[in-house]
Structure 1
Amino acid sequence: MSGAKVILLSSSDEKLSLAGKMGVHHLINYRSSPAWESEVLELTNGLGVDHVVEVVGSDHINRSIEVLALDGTISLIGLIDGFYGNINTAKIMSKQIRLQGIEVGSKEMFTRMNKALDVNQISPIVDKVYAFEDAREALSALEKGTHFGKIALAFK
């Protein structure tokens, strides 16, 4: 919607294929390409990316710092690998990086997001909707991480 060229990393070729069908420009399987940072830098002619949406956290942030362009931004939205890590603060300074933690936006931001989705005719991807009674099964599916899109609960 904003015109960004997206580079997506996943360990699942199936998820990468689905993302490719949605228009994602560059797809990297980080299991088969463990040095994915080199691939990202090659795709950007060595300049790096302007924005990283970081979902792993901990020491992994250093890998995101490596692929970030000068004056880039890391939006930390997940902590899959834990709450703490050793982060290269010298590189944050030398690359003039913005590192921003994001949990949940305001009601106003949610309203603006929904308006943008509506205007641009974009619908969220929902992997599966579970009945409220099946919340444990939904949480188990979420923990497995095999879903593509959101897992939702229906309250009837």
Structure 2
Amino acid sequence: MAVTKIQIVIVGGGAAGLELATRLGARYGRKRHDIIVVDRNRTHIWKPLLHEVATGSLDANMDEVGYRSHCHRWGYRFFYGALASIDRTARQVHLAPVLDDQGREVIAAHAIRYDYLVLAYGSVTNDFGTPGVAENCTFLDSRAQADRFRDRLLDQCLRVSRAM
């Protein structure tokens, strides 16, 4: 008879979610518990370092944590995807389909059951509704935004150096 493991689902693999999954995995392992981290990114970089990535003073590839290797080491599983909804009655989280850069489906929408659910999906920059901020500010909430800032900065440096 197969024993159903206690399933702990952590939505969000940022600093809090990753720390929790690491501690739970180290403490409980995989024998009677199934600890799952769901994140919409394949890797994690500590958010307070994004300004260094944006300026090029930190190579994010050297400092980011790959969930796949980290989960193997620390006794949890990683599901790549974004939270679409939560069904509290059925005790399931529903994940949106994962699409590639051309809009083709890589992973279909699916549900994951949970016994315990932790929502640790982090924060985003608040512009407090100040007119013009959202349209004119470069936010640093993700690796992609930091990379985009660095590319714009380098492009501007090239423009200036060629104009002289």
In the superposition, the TM-score normalised over structure 1's length comes to: 0.30
Higher Rg: 2
Q: Quick one: higher RCO (CA 8 Å, sep 6+), 1 or 2?
A: 2
In the superposition, the TM-score normalised over structure 2's length comes to: 0.29
